[in-house]
Every structure is written in C-alpha cells, then in structure tokens.
Amino acid sequence: MKKLNFLVALCCLLLVSCQVEQENVVEDTPNLTTTVAPHFGFGGAGLDPDDDSKLEQSLAWAAYTAGSILYENADIQLELEPYLNSTTKSLSLELLLNPNTDTDLFRNAFINRFQLFVDCSLGAAQGGQCPGGSNSPGDPACPPCTGAIGGGEALQFVNYLINDHCLEFYLPRGFQFDATDYITTAAHSMNDAFHTNKAFCFKYSAFQPLSNIIVSPSYVQTHLQTIIIGRPTRSTLNGNCDYTEINVIDFEDFLSGTWPFGI
C-alpha cells in the first residue's frame, strides 16, 4: 500500500512539474503574429523561381491598381487613349505618374486606390471597397513598406516606380475596353524561360477580380480584351535601369507572338 501511495504521489508530482514547464514555455514564447503591410494573400504562384521578387510584385501591384481604376472610370480611359502607341502599345509609368503629368486623373486615382488597398490591409479602412484576401497580387506591394496611412505609402510606391526604376505598362492588344469590359493585369515573369505568369481579370468588380488566371501567348491570342502587363525597360540614361541582375535578354519578348493584335 505504501508503495502504491508513493507511485501515485510521484505521478502527481511529475504531472504538476510538466504543467508548470509547459506554462513557462508558453509564457516565454515570443508573439510570432506580426502585421506586415500590405499583405493581401499569396505571394508566389509556383510558376517562376523569381516570382516573389520585389520588382515583379511591385509591377503586379502597379498593373493591378491600374486595372482596378480603369475598369470603372470612363474618364480615365479617355484620358489615356491618346497616349497608346500603335506600334509598341506601351505606356511609361513615369509619364503616367510623375507630379507634372497631363494624365492627372489617372495619377490621382492610382494614388488613392493603392492607398486604399494599403489602408484595408492595415485595418484603417474596411467594408465592401476592400479587396478580397486571395484576389490580389500578394506582397510586398512597395519596397520597403512602412505601414504609412494617409497617403504616405502610395506616394512612396509611386516614387519607387518612377524614380528607382524604368518601367512601363505593355498592352499587347491595345486598349480594348469598347470590345469587352474585361481587363486582365499581370507582371513580366522576370525570366526568359517563363512566358506565362499569374494574372487577375477584372470582369465583375473593380475590387474583386478573378484570380487563378494565367496570362500566356495563347491567352493574349484568344482573349479580345485589355491586357496590362507591368514590365521594366532597360535604359542607359538611368543608372538604376541596367537590370543586369535579371535573367532576361529582352523584356519585350515576354508574350511575344505572331497573331494579329487589336482585331
């Protein structure tokens, strides 16, 4: 009997000891839940080893924001139409977003919309205008993200796009809003080996685009709609724009094809 009581007491002692140790482990464990903004869902799609690069994600967000505002605003569509080049079908982000631009409707809407996305991710804005968690390009949206509200993050993002880089929007089918109310947006894959990339299609809403879309040469050939691709351009005039670290011979080769555009 004494032996039994001793075993019971020993078990109780061990149980209490384990419980205290477990509580100490919980108390000593740092809080790993951090707020990283903006964060709207998945980052990479598994198609490209460079898919999570800051530049590619930033271009994805720039095209996504442009598609969001163009989808719903006819005045901005008309404002941009004269700037579309019939040969290259490209628009310089510096032309669109510099403070002295003639496309001020686009610039102001771009800044306001991007900041709304940031504020939604920080919880500073809520409601139906906040994008869905999985229906967005991912993060980082602007390097480095500071979590600034009240317009600060958007202005930092614009500065990164037009001063730190040489970037443009490529529209392989030109502006086709009259033909269909769809707008697909994506970024260059940042790799010569990948002529596809994840994309988003604004079909029903400026804030809830269709996700799980893949843009490719065949997609461009078969979809008569506005397709906006964010891509770099190499420039000898800007020391930041040699892009020697990116494994791409010619950025204009992405989505290249022999099909007739704009039909």
Question: Where do the domains of the chain lie?
Answer: 54-234
Cis bond before residue 140 (omega within 30° of 0): yes
> pTM to 2 decimals?
0.76
- Give mean pLDDT, residues 224-232: 93
- Range in 147-161, 207-221, 236-250 the model is least confident about: 147-161
Give the N- to C-terminal CA distance of the chain in Å, as an integer.
95
pLDDT of res. 87: 74
Region at 123 (left for phi over 0; alpha for psi -120 to 50; beta for the rest): left
Distance (Å, rounded) from C-alpha 211 to C-alpha 227?
Answer: 14
Tokens 């730190």, residue located: 164
pLDDT of res. 239: 80
Give the Å distances, CA to CA, from 9 to 13, 17, 22, 23. 6, 12, 20, 21
Judged by DSSP in three states, 36 sits in: coil
Q: What pLDDT band is residue 141 in, cutting at 50, 70 and 90?
A: low
pLDDT of res. 211: 82
Distance (Å, rounded) from C-alpha 111 to C-alpha 61?
Answer: 12
Tokens 């509580």, residue located: 23
Which amino acid, one-letter code, is at 253? Answer: D
- Residue-wise pLDDT for 81-111, tens only, equals 888 876 778 999 999 999 999 999 999 999 9
Q: What pLDDT band is residue 127 in, cutting at 50, 70 and 90?
A: low
Residue count (the chain): 263
Quick check: 114 and 61 in contact, CB under 8 A?
A: yes
Quick check: 65 and 118 in contact, CB under 8 A?
A: no
- Residue-wise pLDDT for 9-32, tens only, equals 545 544 444 444 443 333 332 222
- Residue-wise pLDDT for 31-72, tens only, equals 222 233 333 333 333 334 344 588 888 899 999 999 999 999
